[in-house]
A and B are shown apart, each in its own frame.
Chain A
Amino acid sequence: MNLTLKIWRQKDSKTKGQMVDYKVTDISEHMSFLEMMDVLNEQLVNSGDEPVAFDHDCREGICGMCSMYINGEAHGPDRGITTCQLHMRMFNDGDTITIEPFRAKAFPVIKDLVVDRMSFERIQQAGGYISVNTSGNTQDANALPISKHAADEAMDAAACIGCGACVATCKNSSAMLFVGAKVAQYALLPQGQVEAADRVKNMVAQMDLEGFGNCTNTGACEVECPKGISLENIARMNREFLKASIKG
């Protein structure tokens, strides 16, 4: 198929960007979206132009590196996937595809489609861990039974890949699904109880500091999340936060 691409080009964080049109031809429906981008970039390199910078790494939907806002949707027009898992069979010959970076105040553009997600790092550094040193002398793993239900729920929350699609999708640029998933994972497990109050307070404080918006319960984040992280995690974070605030 032959396509027209409208892509956001921006030299660096200080320079103003703009949409630029490109044409690609003979795109196979079996290609992944990023392979289509590879074809465009090979074309650009061969003609002496600068290729389009975009983040990507594992190309199997788990590293969370690839971003892109495609035709107005984070990771494009399919559900439960990242951009690297989007296939060209979702498009038709002659289509015009608009490709933008993830847009949020807390995700400044570095170049073209690459954004800076260090705000997520700082939130996790504020408390996204259990304080246990490596010693080899922690208690036997089976000394602490954990109900299958809690373990499974914690796993569902922990499946978050930190891609930022929730933020990019939210009209308020809220990071509450991401932070909620992190808080919930530990809140559901007995190991996480000791530091629970400090954790949620510190992570939420950092989230506010980074300039993410608040949650107005539209649920768009859950719809666009490639890993199906549930809105329940936001509710759980709110509960944990309230609990921690009352305890003081």
Chain B
Amino acid sequence: MSVLDSKVPKGPIKDKWTDYKNHIDLVNPANKRNIDIIVVGTGLAGGSAAATLAELGYNVKAFAYQDSPRRAHSIAAQGGINAAKNYQGDGDSTYRLFYDTVKGGDYRSREANVYRLAEVSANIIDQCVAQGVPFARDYGGLLDNRSFGGVLVSRTFYAKGQTGQQLLLGAYSAMNRQIARGKIEMFNRHEMLDVVLVDGKARGIITRNLITGEIERHSAHAVVIGTGGYGNVYFLSTNAMGSNATAAWKIHKKGAFFANPCYTQIHPTCIPRSGDYQSKLTLMSESLRNDGRIWVPAKIEDAKAIQEGKLKPTQIAEADRDYYLERRYPAFGNLVPRDVASRAAKERCDAGYGVNATGEAVYLDFAAAFQRYGSEQAKLKGIKNPSKEEVIKLGQAIIEEKYGNLFQMYEKIIAENPYETPMMIYPATHYTMGGVWVDYNLMTTVPGLYCIGEANFSDHGANRLGASALMQGLADGYFVLPYTIGDYLSNDIRTGKIPTDTPEFDAVEKEVQDKIDFFLNNNGTKSVDHFHKRLGKVMWDKVGMSRNAPQLKEAMAEIKAIREEFWKEVKVPGSGSEMNLELEKAGRVADFLELGELFAKDALVREESCGGHFREESTELDGEQKGEAKRNDKDFAFVSAWEYKGEPADAVLHKEELEFNDIELKQRSYK
């Protein structure tokens, strides 16, 4: 019997969450005042959790490494948030959102968690509107929806191209109300550097004040981690520069199992990299694929000429273009899920058809949309026999209304006008489905230690659908954790304040201090970024969009070697008792250097292709699906939860078998 207990309640899937809520233990309001909760991270998950827990009456201490909770990277999400409201009457329902999420995740998520997510999704929209989030509306004053890749209904709510920003500002405003009331004590510019366990339970954290360098102890009855994903293990990603896995990795080293690290989402519509100095990649909303057509030249000589700058895309005749997504996936075309679109782009570029100097870019072309919208507008405006130029101009105006901010962003970065020449895009690491293992209560394998939002593994399986990350973050923080944590804390009403002057706090603080001292006194020869870039290159080349056993083994060995060199050669200037950005980075990269190896090991063990994890050894060999990803449900329908045992290579695998009672397992087909 596995040591993992998912604690999924019994009963029919549609009743589980309601029954669960009816039977958990509650903490009475007078007792909540005596209970402290630490929330690390203030994005959508952490911010919404902190606000809600404080509203309930708990004493919350919240931590962010930025100077304000509002700057967490949830703010960068553009496209939207899904909810099963069925406002469009197009057949959406809780079940359908549940089904799409499980299918989109390639049948590697836990059914009961996903159903609950779909169930509370509608409440999120109600809550956000009540907070004053300015969602897009139609002329009747009702909420507008758009459709997103991989699904057949319009269930995505949005606020221009800044949905993440607006939802985060909503959660942040709820936090501000509680900060003003004194129910949340906010620690900006503080970084959690480790967790403290007392008698096996999470009872506090050690933090560094990023302005003064002071090492601080904070105690609580429970600790919640909502610190986002680990995409920056690739160095280049669409994550913020400061996004890191340190909190998640530190709790892993203290006993929390880490699940499915190999499930990583590579987003297809990002701006291609231009040189070695590149510090991060920029995503453009997937909604662009609703109107843009993706192509590369059909002839290799044309591709070569473009790469050398001798030919322009507009000079290539229609017949000489390969709209490869429409060719390979006629049913979904340019709207196939993210993993499929990304791999298809890589396949064409690997074959030599890439369209910029690096050979790593494909075109996203709006010419057909200009034409289509333009003709429609000409009719609407009663323009008879419009000229070709007039039609295109009218069409461009519509596209500008829909995606103007993205077109402007593109032009600022690339210095090319995307209204005149097709955009160039290439996939980039964007989101990590894997993360800390949690049960139905969102509790990790350490009692009293919770993990929410992107930082946990629970809801997206092997691949996340567009507009579902915001939904999960807010579902966890607003509607799930506040119930489940109460059930646990009902046993803590007599505990009293947790003291910090104990041997447990002494020991962890010493560990933290020793590591800082080591970095500052190491006197190596190479910068932190030097190692981070090398790690990123190994990850991208060998543990990227397409993986195989020999390369994964090489990656493990190479990451280990980089890690060993890092500890010998890293150089961190400055002191510990001041703001020291290099010191902050050093600690984060040290953790990425361990996580990366476990990531490769997890990818090696999973000898199947599913969602964002593509193993070259596991593809369909014949039939209509030839060359497509081949999942293996017989041997791999489980969650890989890794237990820390020192070296990442020695981590021990625990399997949580996935049962599918409400959905039939099928091959994902977008043909």
Q: Chain A interface (Cβ within 8 Å of chain B)? A: 11-12, 28, 30-32, 34-35, 38-39, 42, 44-46, 48-51, 53, 55-65, 78, 80-81, 85, 87, 89, 110-111, 114, 116-118, 120-121, 124-126, 128-136, 138-142, 144-148, 151-152, 154-155, 158-159, 161-162, 185-186, 189, 191-192
| CB<8 Å pairs between A and B, sample of 27 | A38-B277, A38-B279, A42-B529, A56-B241, A57-B66, A57-B73, A111-B578, A116-B67, A120-B68, A121-B68, A124-B173, A126-B180, A132-B130, A132-B174, A134-B48, A134-B479, A136-B123, A138-B127, A141-B129, A142-B143, A144-B129, A148-B141, A158-B166, A159-B160, A186-B132, A189-B134, A191-B129
- Complex contact A118–B282 (CB within 8 A): no
Minimum CB–CB distance from B125 to chain A (whole Å) comes to 5
Does A60 lie within 8 Å of B138, measured CB to CB?
A: no
> B87 touching A142 by the CB < 8 A rule?
yes
**Is the CB–CB distance between B173 and A59 below 8 Å?**
no
In the bound complex, residues from chain B placing their C-beta under 8 Å from that of A144 are 129
Instruction: Report A68 CB to chain B, min CB distance, Å.
Output: 15
Docked-complex contact B142 and A145, CB < 8 angstroms: yes
The reply to whether B579 and A136 contact each other, CB–CB distance below 8 Å, is no
B66 touches A145 (CB 8 A): no
**A155 to B170 alpha-carbon distance, docked (Å):** 12
Beyond A46-B527, A189-B132, is A63–B240 a contact (Cβ under 8 Å)? yes
Q: Are A159 and B240 in contact (CB under 8 A)?
A: no
A87 to B137, CA, bound (A): 35
Question: Taking the complex as formed, is B152 at the interface, i.e. its CB lies under 8 A from any CB of chain A?
Answer: no
CB of B75 within 8 Å of the partner chain: yes
CB closest residue in chain A, given B139: A148
Cα–Cα distance between A116 and B189 once the two chains are bound (Å) = 10
Determine if A125 and B278 form an interchain contact, defined as CB atoms under 8 angstroms apart: no
Minimum C-beta distance from B658 to chain A (A): 28
- Chain A residues within 8 Å of B668, by CB: none
In the docked arrangement, what's the CA distance between A117 and B68, Å?
A: 9
- Per the bound structure, the CA–CA distance linking A172 and B55 in Å amounts to 38
| Complex: chain B residue closest to A13, CB-CB | B211
Distance (whole angstroms) from the CB of A225 to the closest CB of chain B: 15
A57: chain B residues within 8 A (beta carbon): 66, 71, 73, 240-242
Residues of A within 8 A of B277 (CB): 28, 31, 35, 38-39
Is B557's CB within 8 Å of the partner chain A? no
With A134-B52, A145-B140 already in contact, the answer to whether A63 and B75 are too (CB < 8 A) is yes
With A51-B581, A58-B75, A58-B76 known as contacts, the answer to whether A140 contacts B126 (CB < 8 A) is yes
Q: Which of B300-308, B378-386, B409-417, B634-642 contacts A (4 or more CB under 8 A)?
A: B409-417
Q: When chains A and B are docked, how far (Å) is the Cα of A61 from the Cα of B73?
A: 11
Q: Of the candidates B66, B141, B180, B408, which one forms a contact with A63 in the assembled complex, judged by CB atoms under 8 Å apart?
A: B66
Q: Taking the complex as formed, is B657 at the interface, i.e. its CB lies under 8 A from any CB of chain A?
A: no
Nearest 7 A-B pairs (CB), nearest first?
A: A145-B141, A129-B173, A136-B123, A155-B134, A138-B130, A154-B134, A141-B129
Contact with A along B135-170 (1 / 0, CB 8 A): 111111111000000000000000110100110010
In this complex, the member of B55, B174, B279, B408 whose beta carbon has the largest number of chain A beta carbons within 10 angstroms is B279
A191–B131 touching, CB < 8 Å:
yes
Type the 1/0 row for B566-582, where 1 means its CB is closer than 8 Å to any CB of A. Answer: 00000101100011011
Partner of B132, one of A32, A63, A124, A185: A185
Asked if B85 is an interface residue, CB under 8 A from chain A, the answer is yes
Q: Are A125 and B139 in contact (CB under 8 A)?
A: no
B275 within 8 A of A: yes
Q: Which residues of A contact B279 (CB under 8 A)?
A: 32, 34-35, 38, 59
Instruction: With CB as the reference atom, state the residue of chain A lying closest to B136.
Output: A151
Q: Does B208 contact A (CB under 8 A)?
A: no
Interface residues on B, range: 35 or more
Chain B residues with CB under 8 Å of A139's CB are: 126, 130
Say whether B176 contacts A124, CB under 8 Å.
yes
B141: contacting residue among A138, A147, A158, CB under 8 A: A147
With a CB–CB cut-off of 8 A, which chain A residues contact B482? Answer: 134
Which A residues lie within 8 Å of B172 (CB)?
124
Q: Are B134 and A117 in contact (CB under 8 A)?
A: no
Q: B579 near A110 (CB under 8 angstroms)? A: yes
Say how far B239's CB is from chain A's closest CB, in angstroms: 9
B344 within 8 A of A: no
Does A51 lie within 8 Å of B582, measured CB to CB? yes
Query: A53 with B581: in contact, given A134-B174, A140-B126 (CB under 8 Å)?
Result: yes
Task: Tell which of B132, B136, B139, B278 touches A191, judged by Cβ atoms closer than 8 Å.
Answer: B132
Assuming the contacts A46-B527, A65-B66, asked whether A185 and B134 have C-beta atoms less than 8 A apart, the reply is yes
| Given A64-B70, A87-B413, 12 more pairs with CB closer than 8 A | A30-B415, A38-B277, A51-B581, A58-B240, A85-B413, A110-B211, A124-B176, A129-B173, A134-B478, A141-B125, A142-B85, A159-B162
A contact residues around B581 at 8 Å (CB): 51, 53
Contact B578 A142 (CB under 8 A): no
Q: Which of A57, A125, A126 has the most chain B CB atoms closer than 10 A to its own CB?
A: A57
Partner of A129, one of B138, B176, B274: B176
Instruction: Give the chain A neighbours of B571 by CB distance below 8 A.
Output: 45-46
Output the least CB separation between B416 and chain A (Å): 11
Residues of chain B lying within 8 A (CB to CB) of residue A44: 573
Are the CB atoms of B73 and A30 closer together than 8 Å? no
Report if B402 contacts A (CB, 8 A): no
Contacts of B85 in A (CB 8 A): 141-142
Contact with A53, one of B67, B141, B177, B579 (Cβ below 8 angstroms): B579
B562 within 8 A of A: no
Say whether, besides A60-B76, A134-B479, A136-B479, A87 and B188 are in contact (CB < 8 Å).
no
Bound-complex Cα distance A164 to B408 (A): 22
A185 to chain B, nearest CB (A): 7
Chain B 393-429 interface 0/1 with A at a Cβ cutoff of 8 Å (1 = within): 0000000000000001100110100000000000000
Bound-complex Cα distance A105 to B408 (A): 34
A125 touches B126 (CB 8 A): no
Chain B nearest Cβ from A220, distance in angstroms: 22
B-side contacts of A46, CB under 8 Å: 527, 571
B362 within 8 A of A: no
Which of A28, A121, A133, A141 contacts B55, CB < 8 Å? Answer: A133
B128 contacts across to A, CB distance below 8 A? 141
CB neighbours (8 Å) of A133 from chain B are 55
Cβ–Cβ contact B179 & A125, under 8 A: yes
Query: Contact: B134 with A151, CB < 8 Å?
Result: yes
In the complex, what's the smallest C-beta–C-beta distance from A64 to chain B, in angstroms?
Answer: 6
Q: A185-B132, A185-B134 are in contact. Are A62 and B123 (CB under 8 A)?
A: no
CB-nearest residue of chain A to B528: A45
Interface membership of B51, Cβ < 8 A: yes
CB–CB B126/A62 < 8 A: no
Closest-by-CB residue of B relative to A49 is B573
| Least Cβ–Cβ distance between B526 and chain A, in angstroms | 8
> With A62-B75, A130-B173 given, is the CB distance from A162 to B129 under 8 Å?
no
**Any A CB within 8 A of the CB of B280:** yes
Contact yes or no, B134 A158, CB < 8 A = yes
